[in-house]
Structure 1
Amino acid sequence: MNKMKLDTNNRFQIMYAFICIVFVGLFVRMSYMTIIQGDDFYSVAENKVYKKIESQAPRGEIKDRNGKLLAGNRPSFTVLISQNELVKEKINDTALKLMEILRNNNEAVSDDFPIKNNGTELFFAFDEKISQWKEKNDIETNKDAKDSFFTVVQNAKDQGLIEVTEEEHAVDLQKKLNDAGFYPPISVSRWEFTEEIRKQEWLAKYKIKDKNIDASAAYKLIKEYYEIPDNLNDTKVRDILLIRDMLKSKGYFQYEPVQIAVDVSKKTVSTIEELSIDIPGVTVQINPIRYYPNGSLASHILGQIGRISTQEEIAKYVNEKKYNSSDIIGKTGIEKKYEEILKGKNGYRRVQVDAFGRLINSIDYETPLSGDTVYLTIDSDLQKVAEESLKKTLELIQTGGTYESEWGNVRLRKNNKIYNKAASGAVVALDVKSGEVLAMASYPDYDPNIFTTGVSASDMDNLMPENLNDPLSPKPLYNIATMTSVQPGSAFKMITGLAALESGLDPNYRIKDEGFIEMGGRRFGCWFWNDYGGKHGEEDLVAALRDSCNYYFYSISVGYDYAKEKPLPVEMNSGKILDMAKLFGLDDFTGIQIEEVSGKVPDPKQKLEETRKALYYSINAKMRNYFTDITSSSPLYEERINKIVSWMDENPSRTELINRMKELKVKEDLAVEIAEYVKYSYYNQGTWKTGDTFNLSIGQGAHAYTPLQIANYISAIANNGYLNRVTVVDRIEKYDKSDIDKIERKSEEIPVNKDNLEYLRRGMIDVTDEGTAKEIFQNFPIKVAAKTGTAQKSGKIPAVDEEEYLLSHMRDYRVDKTQAVNLANKLKSESTENLASHRYLRRAILELNPSLSDEDINRFKDNYDNFAWFVSYAPHDNPEIAVVSLIFQGGSGGYAGPVAREIIAQYFGINNQNEDITTSEQEQVDENSTN
């Protein structure tokens, strides 16, 4: 009995102790929460009750170096609708009345409702975007996200834009594509199109779980969801759905008003105010809107703005920097680079809301603060001249006209040849001492104002290149000055000359131009010989620059006097030329604050790799029916193709190569053909040869530089050997003018003999005095140093529709069209590659007629014309400005000269100088004339 009593007491004591521990723990926890974390929990509670409705801050201004406005803001009327002020039973009526007002006044409405009508049926905008993207990228409509992604990868690889290894993960490939400027709308983690994911998320808002539902069925369900009567016509139904969907997209944030239309007219505003009783919840607010007062002026520098849209922008601005998802941001140019400086600080109206997010009361208000002002280094007047003269030059080259000017007329036609494909180009003007961009134009251009309220589909279509397959097709949104790198032609010859001088060449050493140098069965001719059968005779460095004598530069590039058949007293090679190019910044970015690509100094090792790739793609298409035992669909086919490519490193003899082909079971009658083809067209071309150095020395071959890089290199010659870091931004001024941040100017001395630079400058001065640019500057009052450059562009211009091109020439290929199409479909079905349809059709043609080559198939396409370069600085004795112009397919370097001349004239204030005479001065002139 006592034992039972003892056990009972123990249990009570244990229970009592446990209860005490629990209460002590609760007390400690409550004390911690109220004393230590009290402020945090209070803040959380407050945030559940109080919210902020932001008001947009005016975007910071962008001005030129003299303070002239380039990008500012103007007030605009924005139509808003607030859900908390709507009468639930009358939302549909309000929506109809509001949309009627907007439509009657032809206002643009933010139409984001994703079910659309093409006149015959309803469809999802999500699906349309996927289809349009596929069409633009030449991807079959039935390909899923994964296949589409790898098609883009393959196409980018084929174009040499990215390098791909077999073991690379899709995420790595996606980054490579992004870096190359490709953004496939595909989630590689889910292997779904991003538009498909958005579609599923949107349907889920209406509790529609069937992701395969068609647009018509979804439309009907959503119509029922909003209790829209059947007696309304389709236009009115869709108007209601548009407004209701916008309101629903706010979710818990329904206290925030929804923006329905931007930049509406005063007539619309007055109508809304008159009918305010009939449309409760609809208000008009004045918001700042971006405005570019000069239209397209400096558009490629200023850039464009737009709503946050891409996944990258959402991650950066919404998730990381806490922007609103509907915010406007800079997409390109200065607008993008200085986004956070230009944005300003939004104001807000603090409101009280209930548990459902509905507004109860307004509490307080904070005024928005404008963004800071960015001052550019450009002069807007000089920029205007640059753009107008560039456009004028292009138009005249296309018609073979004459550039008329008070400084002399220049005929833009050579041997009666008209370069009618000269439709785009760029010009850059730099301060040679500071690296400041004084003007920079790219044509065609665009008006950034069209992006401020949302660009229309028709406007966007007008901004797209006409031929998506042609890399030189004019692109209004593309800044050629900083984003296109091409061969510089003779504009590069100063680098070759300086490399030779630095190696010990006597600048007065004379080499006799014999017209051409024969090397490996090929003639490397001077332009004078090629065009007219002429020879320059004895040339030293200055004269060779004046006359742009290829023969001289061929000779000094390898340290050999071919006229005298003896070595020069200096050792020269391609490496010294390439090293000199790097010293002048041609292998690096310039430092400009807007988007730019870095041109690339050639690499002799790279030639072997590029030739290897070209060989692979060539024989992969050519040899599909060359083997006796396998077809192109066999896994062994790829293995054998790679084996043939691997032989390039050893370059076996012709006989050895024929034997190897036979061992690989190449058909007897084709073994010799393919052996000779790979040896003479590829193996022998893969290694760096004297001919490559010749091409290198005159700016041909694998050179690729932007106009901005070339302008900076010319500046370094003009300023006696200092490579500037380019800037297009002068300073940043706080919105309240309390602080100014001046952009630091930087330059680096190039380790070369300054005396040698003087010989380059003398040669460039002679170009305008008596050389290839004499006609342009013979009447010009300021001494200008210059160099013309004509760079060859090899290859054929791709067809707008490659498949249609191939089908239209089947008879010329001696191939049956039906057979070719059937074989192409068969190759496509058997292939593991994700290639465009026209690629399979091309393979089919080559299989059906093995005697053809790719060159034969492309022979009906037009050839590219030469690039025209003109590089210059002025004045010659105390250089201030360097101007470089590039005309795509402009034919001759001198044709780009008038652009530079007009800019230099404007810079020194001598344009239209006769117009500056005052009335009294003019009277005196007239009197003297009479006397």
Structure 2
Amino acid sequence: MIFKKLKDRYFFTGVIFTLIFAIILLRVATLMIVNGESYREQAENRIIKSIRLPAPRGEIRDRYGRLLAGSRPSYTVQIMKSQVVDEEINNVALKLINIFEANGDQYEDEFPIILDENGKFHFTFDMALDEWKERVDLVGVDTGLEAYQILMERYGLEGNLSNLDGALAVQAELHRQFETVPVSVKTWKFTQEALKEQWFQSYYMQEYDLTAEEAFNRLREKNYRIPEDFSAEEARKIMIIREQLKKKGYLQFQPVKIANDVSWETVVQIEEDIFELPGVNIAVEPIRYYPEGNAAAHILGQLGKISQEHEIEKYINQLDYDPSDIIGKNGVEHKFEDFLKGTDGSQKVVVDSRGRLIDVLEKIDPIPGNTLYLTIDINLQKKAEESMANVLKAIQRGEVYETEWGTNKMMGTAGVMNNATSGSVVVTDVKTGDLLALANYPDYDPNLFATGISSADWQSLHPENERDPLAPRPLLNIALSTAIQPGSTYKMLVGLAAIEEGLDPHYKILDRGFIKIGGHSFGNWLWNQGRGQTMGWQGLHEAIEDSNNYYFYSLGTGYDYGIGRWLPVPLNVNTFIDYSHRFGLNERTGIEIDVPRERSGGVPSIEAKSATIKALLERNLKRLMKPEDFDETVEKPSTEKINEMIDKIISWTAENPGRGDIYLRLKDFGFSEDKASIYADLIKYSYFNQARWSIADTMNFSIGQGEHAYTPIQMTNYMAILANGGHRYRVSLLDKIQDFQGNTILKDEPDLIERIEMKDYKNLDEVNYGMHLVTTTGTARGYFNKFPIKVAGKTGTAQRSGKIPPVDEVAYLKKHMGAFGVSEQAVNYQMEVIKAEDPENPRIHDDVYLMREAIKQLNPRIKNADLDQFKENYDNYAWFTGFAPYENPEIAISVLIFQGGSGGYGAPIFREVVAEYMGLNLKEDGSEMMMQSRLTQ
């Protein structure tokens, strides 16, 4: 029977399963009963986690391999969210913050509610916005649109805010006036207001009107349940850490960075107290550093956190960056972010319950970013920066600037230029377009941004007088962002165009001091000095040498005013516009910096002038015209209807009807008689008559004044084209890119855009000779009489009209009310009247506007010019441009000084840069051969 059962396959299968089940049961019993305690301990004390290993950012070096930006190891404090239970997190957070503060370490504090010294709660969003409004004199302004309208009015900017493209254009221009305007042109909300709403939403709080104290208490009680045992100050410290952990969301095993680059004292203390700090660990991470400090800051750019909406979309959502990553915000750091950002590694490790490392299971090493080699020479860069800083100080104090290559008193007939506080120097290789140096003053230390700049450091980089567009701005890249008139440095282009059209460079024009056009006199600078002197008969070389306005007025108009007849060759403004375009003065140079974006400059034209006049008229009419301006017999028009009328008025610009005709047309629109008369005068005489191109425009055009607007980098490229035989190169700052193993993955070769079209390239020699005379016997001779290198240069003065706005305009107006014939009490009352009469006017929130209007209404004899009479005048911009050596040019240079007064003041900076480049500053250390080789080239 038994044998039969054994033969039964079903019985046999059952026996097998029974044995297997018994074995499994026995094994489970062994695990649970015999070895259970041991395995339970191992499970509790061993945790596998994956740690991100950030890649070192790629290095940036100069053309000779000298380090400009690298990485250094730093200690980072992290918390593993999954390893801290709610009962412990409060004590851990508080202990960490206390350690950081005791050792003076900065830590991530993004919790937006603070307590002041009086125990009151404030939103940091509100504080930041209020601080900005106060700094730019916009206290009381409620919306971003109002802020834009006021700033545009204040700085005379044009643009259309009614559509996104127009608003973005205005935004770009305002960002050149300020480092930032915290307004979204898509929603017209202040950025801080939008961030505040997002923060409320992140905690599912829909009541956006909660006070800071109410929001703080709600988080403390309902979200974080922080016991009453902790004080408000301690609770906030806890919430700093918990806010950071919250942002990590469901990524439980990703470490949360709490503090960067902490001190060794903090590391030691955390290690000593590790048992009281579960989940906390110290990691070594690379951090950006700039060994040369401030040098080349505006080339290198700066780093910052991923914060803007477009940055989050690009870097986090599309490129899979970690939210805590630091990215390039501008300059080279931004432009080449894709190359500089390495590939992060990872490490799977086993740690015990207290976060101590037990074993490394797997490690993928990070791949460092690529190395950028720039075309700049850091020694030349530092010499440009040093020279600019020292010359500016000498100009401000009227002192002597002295080096081995010259001694110059930096004070002329205009006296001390104490507002000469900003400037720029650009140097390029004329044979390749390589950027050799780009220096702006003032500058900043990019190390401040390496791990996220502090609030105090950020504030220190803002101008003391935000209302003054020429106030020193350390973050402003003047070389790329500031476009102004070139002054007399433009005269070589006028002269070149004239001799290209057939004028003999030796054709002489008699300088008679001034030319009378209508009711205006256009004088030569020597005549204008009040001495009644003239320069006599001069040809092209002498006219460039002495910067003879009279000569270039004649070229510009095609008329020889010295003898009262037309020049031998026909010349007009269109000829000079054409040559300006050939020399690239209406285009960007191509430099690889897109934030801030290089300005394209602007060559004046009839069309551009007409467009500007139209924009000015439109903006002024929209500000002035109101329904009350219409006759009582007609229905009061809506704002849309008034805007339609304004569009119709603008369309009359080309027609330029007579004043009487304009009056009748306005009457047909329904304007009252007095308003039609006032507006007719305004439209005809202030705008339509200015929209056409006049002889006066040509006069100003021919000497580089008027509507010209070029940047220092454009002017340097213009000089390079003069020096290299007419070749226009793309200006470049990238030499090559190598991977971390030293392999070249990209080599940037010189990019010749074109050789500009000319009838005879030898004509370049004629204007260049005139520039050489400038430095030997002309307007800049005193700066080069000891200099061993022959150079070619040109001084230039760009007019800057207007008054410097005071830091506090309201205080200024109050101080001088007696002179304006009004009392402060009457002005305050009239301000309230203005508010009541026009509550929809966005400018009623601008105290400066209100006070000025109130004074003018109380004393109708007072005009805007009278209100500004006690303010300091702006001084003129100073240019010095040229190339060196004269006989075999290698480098082109432009120097621009804000409110420098005289173009000659840029010459010492030019001279010192040339000396450095030519090796004249080298000591006897075996490098004389290099100096001699350059001198004999």
Query: What TM-score, normalized by structure 1, do the two folds share?
Result: 0.86
Aligned AA for 1:883? I
Q: Residue 655 and residue 383 in structure 1: after superposition, are their counterparts in 2 closer, same or farther (change >3 A)?
A: same
Kept after mapping to 1: 8 A contact 2:625/2:642 = no
1:102-501 equivalent positions in 2, closer than 5 A: 102-120=100-118, 121-136=120-135, 138-139=137-138, 141=140, 143=142, 147-149=143-145, 151-152=147-148, 155-156=151-152, 159=155, 161=157, 163-164=159-160, 168=163, 171-180=164-173, 182=175, 195-224=192-221, 225-350=223-348, 363-415=361-413, 417-501=415-499
Q: Residue 447 and residue 312 in structure 1: after superposition, are their counterparts in 2 closer, same or farther (change >3 A)?
A: same
Provide the residue aligned with 2:508 in structure 1: 510
Note the alpha carbon deviations across 1:395-431, whole angstroms, 9 max, x for none: 1111111111112211111126111110000001111
Q: How many percent identity over aligned positions?
A: 44
Are positions 1:554 and 2:556 aligned together? no
1:697 equivalent among 695, 702, 705 = 702
Kept after mapping to 2: 8 A contact 1:155/1:835 = no
Provide the residue aligned with 1:873 in structure 2: 883
* Mapped partners of 1:127, 1:107: distance in 2: 26
Kept after mapping to 2: 8 A contact 1:139/1:148 = no
Provide the residue aligned with 1:860 in structure 2: 870
Farther-moved stretch of structure 1 (589-598 vs 668-677): 668-677
* Mapped partners of 1:859, 1:904: distance in 2: 43
1:555-594 equivalent positions in 2, closer than 5 A: 555-594=554-593
Question: Is the partner of 1:564 in helix, strand or coil?
Answer: coil
In the alignment, structure 1 segments of 5+ residues that lack a partner are: 1-48, 354-358, 919-931
Farther-moved stretch of structure 1 (376-385 vs 185-194): 185-194
Provide the residue aligned with 1:737 in structure 2: 742
Aligned AA for 2:321? Y
* Mapped partners of 1:661, 1:87: distance in 2: 77
How far the C-alpha of 1:252 sits from its partner, in A, is: 0.4
Kept after mapping to 1: 8 A contact 2:820/2:859 = yes
Provide the residue aligned with 1:773 in structure 2: 780
Are positions 1:687 and 2:674 aligned together? no
* Mapped partners of 1:181, 1:668: distance in 2: 39
Q: How many residues align?
A: 859
Q: Residue 763 and residue 204 in structure 1: after superposition, are their counterparts in 2 closer, same or farther (change >3 A)?
A: closer
Are positions 1:608 and 2:610 aligned together? yes
Are positions 1:789 and 2:796 aligned together? yes
How far the C-alpha of 1:347 sits from its partner, in A, is: 0.7
Kept after mapping to 2: 8 A contact 1:377/1:729 = yes
Farther-moved stretch of structure 1 (362-371 vs 258-267): 362-371
1:527-926 equivalent positions in 2, closer than 5 A: 527-531=525-529, 532-595=531-594, 596-615=598-617, 629=631, 648-653=653-658, 679-747=684-752, 748-752=754-758, 753-815=760-822, 816-831=826-841, 836-911=846-921
How far the C-alpha of 1:611 sits from its partner, in A, is: 2.8
Kept after mapping to 2: 8 A contact 1:626/1:670 = no
Question: Is the partner of 2:437 in helix, strand or coil?
Answer: strand
Note the alpha carbon deviations across 1:617-644, whole angstroms, 9 max, x for none: 5577778899684799985877777777
* Mapped partners of 2:329, 2:509: distance in 1: 53
CA RMSD of aligned residues (A): 3.2
Question: Is the partner of 1:772 in helix, strand or coil?
Answer: coil
Aligned AA for 2:894? V
Kept after mapping to 2: 8 A contact 1:557/1:694 = yes
Aligned AA for 1:875? P
Kept after mapping to 1: 8 A contact 2:799/2:876 = yes
Q: Residue 479 and residue 507 in structure 1: after superposition, are their counterparts in 2 closer, same or farther (change >3 A)?
A: same
Kept after mapping to 2: 8 A contact 1:426/1:443 = yes
Provide the residue aligned with 1:35 in structure 2: none
Farther-moved stretch of structure 1 (344-353 vs 427-436): 344-353
Note the alpha carbon deviations across 1:514-572, whole angstroms, 9 max, x for none: 10100011100011111132101001111110010000000011111011111011111
* Mapped partners of 1:757, 1:302: distance in 2: 35
* Mapped partners of 2:291, 2:502: distance in 1: 55
How far the C-alpha of 1:126 sits from its partner, in A, is: 2.9
* Mapped partners of 2:901, 2:186: distance in 1: 49
Aligned AA for 2:611? E
Question: Is the partner of 1:552 in helix, strand or coil?
Answer: helix
Q: Residue 694 and residue 802 in structure 1: after superposition, are their counterparts in 2 closer, same or farther (change >3 A)?
A: same
* Mapped partners of 1:126, 1:626: distance in 2: 40
How far the C-alpha of 1:300 sits from its partner, in A, is: 0.5
* Mapped partners of 2:329, 2:96: distance in 1: 32
Note the alpha carbon deviations across 1:706-730, whole angstroms, 9 max, x for none: 1110001101100011011101111
Q: Residue 117 and residue 365 in structure 1: after superposition, are their counterparts in 2 closer, same or farther (change >3 A)?
A: same
Note the alpha carbon deviations across 1:813-855, whole angstroms, 9 max, x for none: 4454134312331244043778744334444444444444333
Kept after mapping to 1: 8 A contact 2:137/2:467 = no
Kept after mapping to 2: 8 A contact 1:400/1:412 = yes
Q: Residue 659 and residue 350 in structure 1: after superposition, are their counterparts in 2 closer, same or farther (change >3 A)?
A: same
* Mapped partners of 1:153, 1:142: distance in 2: 11
2:91 equivalent among 86, 90, 93 = 93
How far the C-alpha of 1:209 sits from its partner, in A, is: 4.2
Question: Is the partner of 1:886 in helix, strand or coil?
Answer: strand
Question: Is the partner of 2:250 in helix, strand or coil?
Answer: helix
* Mapped partners of 1:263, 1:601: distance in 2: 49
* Mapped partners of 2:490, 2:397: distance in 1: 29
Aligned AA for 2:835? N
Kept after mapping to 2: 8 A contact 1:483/1:706 = yes
How far the C-alpha of 1:607 sits from its partner, in A, is: 1.7
Note the alpha carbon deviations across 1:668-704, whole angstroms, 9 max, x for none: 8898777666544443322111111110011000000
Query: What TM-score, normalized by structure 2, do the two folds share?
Result: 0.85
Provide the residue aligned with 1:84 in structure 2: 82
Kept after mapping to 1: 8 A contact 2:444/2:474 = yes
Farther-moved stretch of structure 1 (332-341 vs 630-639): 630-639
How far the C-alpha of 1:233 sits from its partner, in A, is: 2.5
* Mapped partners of 2:612, 2:184: distance in 1: 31
Kept after mapping to 1: 8 A contact 2:84/2:278 = yes
Farther-moved stretch of structure 1 (196-205 vs 61-70): 196-205
Q: Residue 665 and residue 257 in structure 1: after superposition, are their counterparts in 2 closer, same or farther (change >3 A)?
A: closer
Q: Residue 914 and residue 851 in structure 1: after superposition, are their counterparts in 2 closer, same or farther (change >3 A)?
A: farther
* Mapped partners of 1:551, 1:222: distance in 2: 75
Q: Residue 247 and residue 589 in structure 1: after superposition, are their counterparts in 2 closer, same or farther (change >3 A)?
A: same
Aligned AA for 1:510? K
* Mapped partners of 2:615, 2:171: distance in 1: 22
Note the alpha carbon deviations across 1:51-72, whole angstroms, 9 max, x for none: 8542211000001111111101
How far the C-alpha of 1:152 sits from its partner, in A, is: 1.8
